[in-house]
Amino acid sequence: MNKTLSSVFSLILAAFLFLSLQACGSQRTLAQSAQTRGTKAADRDYSIAPDDPSGFVVLTDVVPDVILEIRYYSSFNFVGTRVDGYEEPIALMTKEAARALKDVSDEAMSLGYRLKIWDTYRPQMAVDHFCRWGEDVADTLTKRYFYPYLDKDVVFDQGYIARRSGHSRGSVADLTLVDMKTGRDIDMGYGFDWFGEESHPDHKASITEEQYANRMLLRKLMLKHGFLPIDEEWWHFILKDEPYPNTYFTFPVRTLK
């Protein structure tokens, strides 16, 4: 009887040791797997939430030759005041878009031009500010400068104001070219944020051949280096392979920490 009990006890002890070793091995495997996942996430170093700017850079840190004229930090824009979310007159972009814009800048400079940036990343709070402005049809302070041929009550229906903006995904640039010889913007016919068909890149009815050629020069440079145009605005380009096609970020425009 004692031998039988001893044998049973030995079998139980052996089974316990086996299961313990298996459990330890599984824990090591899970820990190693978690460590690997953590390492890969660190290597990616990109945003994982709308309020997380880790996938963004200050544009001038990557493209030091650009000229900044951040319109929504100033009052010279269609809203007529500084726009919510623009806490500093800087430009932020996703790392991927900034690197692509560096290639655009380098080629533009080889041709005698510099890039001037009006807007890049735009937080959702700024878009919300635009919407409040659009809903206030009595506020026409800037009409003569930006939408003289439109009644303000059509800005939503005709797509000039929207509840979401590709800018909030971080890979869009509103920009133009500056002639390094003169120090002036090249003539595009109509300026940034002009509400009207005259802003369409292929519009020819009321611009000169030179103005049209200037629009096409900017378009050619941007397309060559991975950006896509839109049909409504000659100044607006979006990175073809944007890293956050479904994320609309909320953090303000200010120096990254």
Question: Would you please indicate which residues are annotated as catalytic (active-site) residues?
Answer: 233
User: CA-to-CA distance for 84 and 158, rounded, in angstroms?
Assistant: 23
Contact 68, 235 (CB under 8 A): no
Contact 249, 94 (CB under 8 A): no
User: CA-to-CA distance for 236 and 248, rounded, in angstroms?
Assistant: 18
Nearest to 118 by CA among 250, 241, 233, 248: 233
- Expressed in percent and rounded to 5, the helix, strand and coil fractions of the chain are 40, 15, 45
- Give 24's contacts (C-beta < 8 A, 6+ positions apart): none
The alpha helices in the chain, defined as continuous H runs, are 2-44, 59-62, 95-110, 124-135, 143-146, 209-224
- Decide the pairing of beta strands 56-58 and 67-68: unpaired
- DSSP conformation class of 71: G
User: CA-to-CA distance for 59 and 95, rounded, in angstroms?
Assistant: 9
Alpha carbon of residue 205 to chain centroid: 32
